[in-house]
Structures are given as structure tokens and as C-alpha cells.
Amino acid sequence: MRRPKNSRFSQSLSFDGDSDRFSKMSWNSFEMESRAGSHASAGAVWAVLGDVRAWPQWARVCASAGVDDTFDWQPGQRLRFRLRMAGVPVPFDVTLKQFEAGRRVAWQSTEFSITAVRTISTEEDGDGVTIRDHKAFHSPILPIGLVYPRLLIRRMTESWLADLSAEAERRSKA
């Protein structure tokens, strides 16, 4: 672990055993990023992500997902899904903050003073695509950097990325 110089806050940056994962945290916030490679194209990955209602069919952590019939990935629109956290379906109602077709999507939610922002992006490389999943959590009053279930969230993220990559590759071969 290393501490940034000239920081007024207790903040650390740690790499979780390999260069594809990192965590950054303070007493009231933390960030984490995971990456996965896929032999599918970015277009195939985005085709899978874009079919929100099908997420439970390929993502083991997703119990249900839905959008309005008029949903078209515009900022301000809402997604609703239930993720299995330690086997328990937990509802999320998120608002789209950013969308760049075929490159990046970011959504945000706030519950119990905790604001979470999730950004999924892709980058083409020689063999396919790298999928990045970045999460940032902040609370002005709760010590989430100390007590939030980071390991559980990391496992869920890595399961999601592996399933997304596998589904994009499966659909590419079909």
C-alpha cells in the first residue's frame, strides 16, 4: 500500500494482487476497478450490455433487470435491477449519467446517504476488447471506507465481467 504525498485525507491505493484490479479508499469513500479481456469485439460486448432485460439470463449475480419501453440509453433515464448479494436479491434503481455508444456507460444511485457511481467501458486491443468496471462510493456521513463489503462487491464485479465476456464471445460465435 502507498499513501499519496501532500494528502490532507487518509487515503490509500492498493493493488489487489494483479494489475487488473485496484482499490482506493478513505474513511467515507472508496473506489475499485476490475478489468477483463474478451475475444469478442466491443460491438458484441455492447450488444449484450444493451439488452438489459436479458441480463439475468447470462449474469449469475443478476436476479432481474428492467427498463421502460421507451428506454434508449439517454442520460436521466432509469434502470432497475436486482443483484444477488451473498445470495439475497437487492434492488437497485439507478439513473443513467453518461452514455457513449460502444465505449462507455455510467449510472448513479443514492441510498442511505451513500452515492454509488458505476462506469463500464471498453477498449479495443489486438485480440479483442478490455472491459473495465469502475465503481466509486461516497457518503458524507457514513464510514463506508471502513465497513462497506468491498470483498463481496469485488467478487460480484468479477463474476459480472467474466459472464459478460463469455456471453459476448458465445453470441459472436453463434
Domain ranges, ordered by start, for the chain: 29-173
Question: Alpha carbon 133 to chain centroid distance?
Answer: 4
The model's confidence at residue 23, banded by pLDDT at 50, 70 and 90, is low
Say yes or no to pLDDT of 81 above 80.
yes
Compute the average pLDDT of residues 107-132: 94
The model's confidence at residue 103, banded by pLDDT at 50, 70 and 90, is very high
- pLDDT value of position 22: 53
- Looking at the chain, how many residues does it have? 174
- pLDDT value of position 17: 44
**Angle at CA 162, nearest 5°, toward 156 and 166?**
145
Q: Tens digit of pLDDT for each residue in 83-102? A: 999 889 999 999 999 999 99
What grid cell was written down for 85?
448479494
Residue 74 and residue 97: Cα distance in Å, rounded? 8
The CATH class of 29-173 is alpha beta
- pLDDT value of position 1: 31
> Looking up cell 458484441, which residue turns up?
44
